[in-house]
Structure 1
Amino acid sequence: MTEPVPPSQLTAHLGYWLRYVSNHVSQAFARKVEREGVTVAEWVVLRELYDAGEISPSRLAERLGLTRGAISKLAERLLAKALIARRDDPDDARAQRLALTESGRALTPRLSALADQNDAEFFDHLTEAERRTVEQVMRQVVERRGLKAPPVS
């Protein structure tokens, strides 16, 4: 009779180490943006709107890989904070468009700087070649697995 194979150790899994690092990176970034009055999910919307200009909520949902309901909730929170504005679509009376307000446009680069700072805190010890390798491997996993939705929480 063969001996049962013992279960693998947690630390033997690459997913364990990815989650370990990801949790710490994400939590540190969340604390930074929360001091600016937004959540990570709200930051993702603000950053997308910064580049998109004015966009329909459905198109924004598509670009971010989120549901329309999720975008609606995020938009309501950002509207209440006066970081985005909503207006009727001039081409379709039934549709609306979202865009950053002046406050939202001013806040977004500050949040981006916090993202840069957070990356530096965790990854500045890596050489440029190591950073490229880690990024290439992660992008390869995203592509091979067909992952679509960006991390927003």
Structure 2
Amino acid sequence: MPPGDTPSDLHAHLGYWLRMVSNAVSQSFARAVEARGVTVAEWVLLRVLYDVERLAPSVLAERMGMTKGAISKLADRLVEKGLVRREANLEDRRGQTLALEPAARSLVPLLAELADRNDAAFFNGLLPNERAQLKGLLHKIASKHELNTAPID
């Protein structure tokens, strides 16, 4: 920057405002799900498994944009909590699949309701078309930059 030029104002950056809102939304949701005994990362894994009967950890890792090692650690914690079980992979006897325990099948809709309420708390000040426009713009940015990792932290 040439001498005498003033750097751009902090509040002039879209990233500043995006981060401010993102942090508030994320922290609020994290507190809500942690009160139910799971982390945000565990919630994402549970939600992905909810729509299927079972999945191989490698497929789950791909869908969540995580490493197999990270999925294994999440699965270990969820098995310990009685929310996920490991089963023999019917197609590949050497492998395993992950499936939800009945307790998780009951928990996922409750956690989804927390997510819905969290979204409402932060975004109901927007008109429906504004919410749709914001969502579309964020999808466009994510797509352009090939952002496909589940936001878990």
TM-fit CA distance, 1:4: 3.1
Q: Which residue of 2 aligns with 1:140?
A: 140
After superposition, the C-alpha distances for 1:72-100 in whole angstroms (9 at most, x for unaligned) are 00000000000011011122111000010
More moved, 105-114 vs 86-95: 86-95
Residue aligned with 1:92, SS: coil
Counterpart Cα distance in 2 of 1:104 and 1:3: 60
Partner residue of 1:130? 130
Question: Aligned pairs, how many?
Answer: 152
Aligned to 1:71: 71
Runs of 4+ residues over 3 Å off in structure 1: none
| Equivalent in the alignment of 2:42 | 42
Distance 1:150 1:58 in 2: 15
Instruction: Calculate the aligned-residue CA RMSD, in Å.
Output: 0.9
* Match in the other structure for 1:84: 84
1:18-51, CA deviations, whole angstroms, 9 ceiling, x for partnerless residues?
A: 0000000000000000000000000000000001
Counterpart residue identity of residue 78, structure 2: L
Is 1:24 aligned with 2:40?
no
Residue in 2 that maps onto 1:117: 117
Q: Which runs of 5+ in 2 are unaligned?
A: none
Quote the Cα distance in structure 1 between the aligned partners of 2:44 and 2:101.
16
CA distance in 2, matches of 1:90, 1:3: 68
Percentage of pairs with the same residue: 51
- TM-score of the superposition, structure 2-length normalised? 0.97
Alpha-carbon offset, residue 3 of structure 1: 4.5
Deviations 1:121-141 (A, max 9, x none): 001111000000100100000
Give unpaired runs (5+ residues) of structure 1: none
Indicate the residue corresponding to 1:14 in structure 2: 14
Q: Which amino acid aligns with 1:36?
A: R
Cα distance in 2 for residues equivalent to 1:58 and 1:114: 28
The one-letter code sitting in structure 2 at the alignment partner of 1:147 is L
One-letter amino acid of the structure 1 residue matched with residue 7 of structure 2: P
Separation (CA, whole Å) in 1 of partners of 2:11 and 2:62: 36
